[in-house]
Amino acid sequence: MADRSAITDPVDSFTEPVIVASGLTRRFGDFIAVDDLSFTVQRGEIFGFLGPNGAGKTTAIRMLTGLLPPTHGTARVARHDVAGHPYAVRRVIGYMSQLFSLYGDLTVRENLDLFAGLYDVSGDRRRTRIQWALEQAGLEGREDQLTATQPLGLKQRLALGSAVLHGPAVLFLDEPTSGVDPVARRAFWDLIAELADAGTTVLVSTHYMEEAEYCHRLALMNRGRLIALDSPAALKASLEWPILEIRSDDSSRAAAILAGLEGVEDATMFGRSVHVVARDAAAAEQNIAAALEREGLTARDIRRVPPTLEDVFVSLVRRSGGVVAG
Amino acid sequence: MNFNRMLTMARKEVIQLRRDPRSLALGFLIPPLLILFFGYAITFDVENIELAVWDADQTQTSRRLVDAFVASGYFRVDRLTRYPAATNALQTGDALAILAIPRGFAGDLAAGRPAPLQLLVDGSDANTATIAIEYARGITSAFSRRATLNGREIRPAVVPASRVWYNPSLESRNMVVPGLVAVILSILAALLTALTIAREWERGTMEQLVSTPVTRLEIVTGKLLPYLAIGLFDVLLAVGIGTALFGVPFRGNLGLLVAMTFVFLLAALGFGMFLSAALKSQVLATQFAMVATYLPALLLSGFIYAIANMPRALQLATYLFPARYYVTITTAIFLKGVGIDVLWRQGLALVALAAAAIAATVAVFRKEVA
């Protein structure tokens, strides 16, 4: 269970946003990794960066945490200007990078001791926080084992525990669950929800759709730009055309045939079926069956389905110019 | 700078060191081994010079001269009967020098005429050749002094009274061991720290570190502390080996040596850490550290080659290497027993180099992350 009393939040009940990004831009030579990114995040919110690889999520997080200076624009975290007061910011944030970044050659307890020391957590608080981190990571009884030998899922939770030992107001997580199995991922997100309930503001990047559903609000990013920002439900509702799900013998051929069809906005493989964005569902159903038959395929089942985040994501990314190669 | 955070970093480094056999060996095993190895191997003393003698005189006097060469202990004499065989020995390397005693040597000496001798020396190793000639000159002049001229002793007009200070027996080991301590430590210090910062970059742990309130100066100094302790331990061990095993005198103040070692280590370790922070790669930083410390420590420190004999540009370059000052310091404290009143210049130079190394490390570090 979260030790809520230990969570200190300098922003507390202020209604002003905890994270303010205004016009954040980062260039690497000619390449614009993040382009004019602006948004705000409220206290206790779980705010997600969703986007394909190379969308600029990591660069954005590195600018928000003060690890990378922006080319243009400013970021304020917990009322501190990130560029002007990097150390003030570091005291009130927790950060977990993409790579597993605890020391593998240190034991579980030594890692926790290290970060408690670096975050100036001492005395009784140090003991209770380390105990809490051990419990939530499920590593009690393994304190004296080398961290490298622990399962990845537990290591990730230990890394999260280390990053919040000091009870930070804001937690930045950069694709924290990459490579972790779904069960461990679920446990990880339960922990994030718990922290947010206790008042921690969480900014997390991901490319897993089911993870995006856990976020209160989602910033969809592509090619360094913010292409949509809303709650998952609102994003799904914003899709103006209905989605048809078609089952056939050969989904990949079917998707290729349907992509060019009159009245079809978009056709994508979706597991073992094809999702089609149709301008007029009734008319499209007729056309689709006919078109597939002409190519020797049978449409076994055509029905309207509620849009998933992936549908929204795919169509928004297409509309904003596709995915960057590489 | 927060003292607790610095200690936290130092503690972490110690734990990692304890579990890294490679660093442990580098820090604790290699230095005493190198001291032992080089202490026995490196000697600038010239002994056992192979001398081929062609004695055409074959008299009691000529044999006494040859005996004088044998008795000196510097020469191993091989008597030859034919002159061409002797020159051949020079060519094959069987002999380093040939002493030719012409017929009539004893007669000339007895008659009070100049009695010429011929000494042929293989000059391809100029140093050894020079020393061999000096030895031969000493032996022959002592011999001619003892030779009586018509019953009277010959007395040279000028006799210099030479006394050798600090190393009266002129044993090169007394100079080699203190200098070695400096050379070995220079190389080792940079190698030890070259790994530390680069390793954190390569493993991705640096990103986590710099997102915490720990400052770059705290990281750098915290990482230096354990290696400083290892370096001091190595020096004390070397003093022990040098005095107990090699019989090198230690005439100075151990406290002064420790204090000087402390600043020297800061400079040398700081240099390794600078490479590590600047190159961000363990392999690159190690290779650079090797090249940038090994040769200068050996060649530009005054350990083997006198700095005064170097071209001006090279002399100026030696000021950049901590080894230069530390070689002077160790030899001076070991053999001369001098104090801070003599060594303060070297001390100040090391303080400056240490400050520069640490400042440069923090500077390149800042540029890369912040």
ipTM of the shown complex: 0.81
Average pLDDT, chain B: 88
**pLDDT score of B154:** 61
Beta bridge partners of B118: B100
- Whether A101 sits inside 8 A of B204 (CB atoms) is yes
**pLDDT at residue A308, rounded to an integer:** 84
Q: What local confidence, expressed as pLDDT, does residue B151 receive? A: 55
Amino acid at A287: N
> Taking a C-beta distance cutoff of 8 angstroms, is the pair A207, A221 a contact?
no
Q: What is the pLDDT of residue A194?
A: 93
Decide if domain A240-306 falls under CATH 1.10.240.10: no
Residue B58 in tokens: 């074959």
pLDDT at A6: 44
- Tell me if B307 sits within 8 A of B320, measured CB to CB: no
Q: What residues in A contact B368, CB-CB < 8 Å?
A: none
Verify whether the Cβ–Cβ distance A117 to B211 is below 8 Å.
no
The nearest alpha carbon in chain B to A109 belongs to B12
Beta bridge partners of A201: A170
Task: Provide the edge-to-edge strand list for the sheet that holds A31-41.
Answer: A31-41, A19-28, A72-77, A80-81
Per cent of chain B over pLDDT 70 is: 95
pLDDT at B79: 78
The confidence score (pLDDT) of residue B149 equals: 57
Residues of A with Cβ-Cβ distance to B207 under 8 angstroms: 67, 97, 99, 101
- B317 exposure class (CB count in 10 Å sphere: 0-12, 13-18, 19+): middle
Instruction: Write out pLDDT tens, residues A126-148.
Output: 999 999 999 988 888 999 999 99
Q: Identify the pLDDT of residue A7.
A: 46
CA proximity to A23, closest of A171, A322, A324, A224: A224
Average of pLDDT values for B190-206? 90
Confidence of residue B368 (pLDDT cuts 50, 70, 90): low
* DSSP one-letter code for B319: T
B35 has a pLDDT exceeding 60: yes
Predicted confidence (pLDDT) at residue B148 exceeds the cutoff of 70: no
Contact across the interface for A67 and B4, Cβ inside 8 Å: no
Mutate to test the interface with B, among A62, A63, A102, A114 (most CBs of B within 10 A): A114
CA A56/CA A222 separation, integer angstroms: 7
In degrees and rounded to multiples of 5, residue A271 shows phi and psi of 65, -125
Q: CB A67 to CB B11 under 8 A? A: no
SS (H, E, C) A75-129: EEECCEECCCCHHHHHHHEEEECCCCCCCCCCEHHHHHHHHHHHCCCCHHHHHHH
Contact between chains at A118 and B209 (C-beta distance less than 8 A): yes
Task: Find the residue in B nearest to A101 (Cα).
Answer: B205
Cβ of residue A91 closer than 8 Å to a chain B Cβ: yes
Residue A88 has a pLDDT of 92
Q: What are the structural domain ranges in chain A?
A: 4-236, 240-306
Do the two domains A4-236 and A240-306 of this chain adopt the same fold?
A: no
pLDDT lower than 50: segments of chain A: 1-11, 325-326
Rounded to 10°, the helix B172-203/B216-244 angle is 150
Could you read off the pLDDT of A16-47 as tens digits, one per residue? 899 999 999 999 989 999 999 999 999 999 99
Q: How far is B370 from chain A (nearest CA, A)?
A: 5
In one letter, which amino acid is A110?
E
Chain A, nearest residue to B10 by Cα: A114
Using the Cβ of A233 and the Cβ atoms of chain B, whether some distance falls under 8 Å is answered with no
CA distance B192 to chain A (A): 18
Is it true that domain A4-236 has CATH number 3.40.50.300? yes
Set out the domains of chain B in order of their start, with CATH numbers.
3-43+171-369 (no CATH), 49-153 (3.40.1710.10)
Given B9, B20, B205, which is nearest A101 (Cβ)? B205
Are A118 and B207 an interchain contact pair (Cβ–Cβ within 8 Å)?
no
Q: What's the pLDDT at B250?
A: 92
* pLDDT score, position A14: 52
Nearest CA in chain A to B11: A114
Calculate how close chain A gets to B200, using CA atoms only, in Å.
Answer: 9
Does A151 touch chain B if contact means CB atoms closer than 8 Å? no
Contacts of A86 in chain B (CB under 8 A): 370
- pLDDT for B243: 92
**Is the CB of A70 inside 8 Å of chain B's CB atoms?**
no
What residues in chain B have their Cβ under 8 A from chain A's Cβ atoms? 2, 4-5, 7-9, 11-12, 15-16, 19-20, 203-205, 207-215, 369-370
Type of residue numbered B147 = A
pLDDT band at B83 (very low <50, low <70, confident <90, very high): confident
Least confident of A221-225, B138-142, B341-345: B138-142
Interchain contact, B15 vs A66, CB within 8 Å: no
Predicted TM-score (pTM) of this structure:
0.80
Using CA of residue B299, residue B300, residue B304, residue B307, what is the dihedral sign?
A: positive
Residues in CB range of A142: below 8 A, 6 or more apart: A108, A150
Please provide the size of chain A in residues. 326
